[in-house]
């Protein structure tokens, strides 16, 4: 009975997928028309952003990015709720072995440069490849290096939650400012500036800095919770 149900549902899924995939038409030019020209020309001419991906992610599809950030926040919150049992008891048991002196010195040497790279990636999100998510992940990787190298290295959960909340509120605040000034959520309220300038693209730079801080705080919190799990 169970098998029959599984087979029937798989057949239904297969029929739907077949329908979708035969409709795509591989090899044909189905991107010839549509919204892509508006994106490609609009990001350079009206928004003055040289990285088209960033302009789509943060400006044209900014609401989706807000949802993405929310998903990440919910994931980190759920993980913390499951694994983080006792508060205010920091660094009770690390799951890792103690590391050698070479690793310790190397980590100390690498940590500031990783931070700098992450900050560069999310500050220059509208000029060069990368952006808030990538920069935040790089910063979290730096904290991960310190956490797995030094067993008693600890980050303050309070500070992380403050950074995260402030960054999230900044994102929503910018969106609401766009709503009140220009009648559309996440509309560009700041001047666009010049192409290839650091202060260009209006609100994109600020939003990506906020997203970078938020992602970095969330991922660092996740790693810290997983590393210092108690039984």
Q: Which two tokens stand for residue 206?
A: 């600020």
Q: Does 144 bind another protein (CB under 8 A)?
A: yes
Q: Which of 47, 58, 123, 140 binds another protein (CB under 8 A)?
A: 140
Q: Does 53 bind another protein (CB under 8 A)?
A: yes
Q: Does 115 bind another protein (CB under 8 A)?
A: no
Render the burial of 137-151: b for 16+ CB within 10 Å, e for the rest.
bbbbbbbbbbbbbbb
- Select 189 or 223, whichever has its Cβ closest to another protein: 223
Instruction: Output the smallest distance, CB 104 to another protein, in A.
Output: 17
How far apart CA 208 and CA 121 sit, in angstroms, is 10
How far apart CA 157 and CA 166 sit, in angstroms, is 14
Could you give the C-alpha distances from 68 to 63, 64, 148, 150, 174, in angstroms and in order? Answer: 9, 6, 28, 32, 16
Instruction: Output the smallest distance, CB 93 to another protein, in A.
Output: 11
Q: Which of 44, 77, 111, 134 binds another protein (CB under 8 A)?
A: 134
Q: Which residues bind another protein (CB under 8 A)?
A: 51, 53-54, 95-96, 121, 129-131, 133-134, 137-138, 140-141, 144, 148, 219, 223, 226-227, 229
């Amino acid at each position: 009975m169970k098998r029959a149900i599984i087979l029937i549902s798989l057949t239904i899924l297969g029929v739907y997928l077949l329908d979708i995939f035969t409709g795509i038409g591989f090899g044909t030019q189905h991107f010839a028309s549509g919204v892509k020209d508006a994106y490609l020309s609009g990001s350079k001419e009206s928004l003055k952003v040289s990285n088209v991906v960033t302009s789509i992610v943060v400006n044209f599809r900014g609401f989706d990015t807000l949802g993405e950030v929310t998903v990440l926040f919910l994931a980190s919150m759920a993980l913390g709720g499951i694994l983080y049992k006792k508060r205010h008891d920091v660094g009770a048991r690390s799951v890792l072995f103690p590391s050698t002196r070479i690793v310790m010195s190397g980590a100390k040497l690498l940590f500031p440069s990783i931070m700098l790279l992450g900050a560069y990636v999310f500050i220059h999100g509208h000029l060069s490849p990368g952006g808030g998510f990538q920069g935040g992940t790089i910063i979290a990787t730096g904290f991960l290096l310190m956490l797995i190298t030094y067993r008693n290295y600890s980050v303050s959960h309070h500070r992380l939650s403050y950074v995260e909340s402030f960054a999230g509120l900044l994102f929503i605040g910018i969106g609401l400012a766009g709503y009140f000034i220009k009648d559309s959520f996440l509309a560009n309220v700041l001047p666009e500036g010049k192409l290839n300038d650091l202060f260009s693209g209006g609100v994109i730079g600020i939003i990506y800095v906020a997203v970078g801080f938020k992602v970095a705080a969330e991922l660092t919190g996740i790693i810290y919770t997983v590393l210092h799990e108690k039984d």
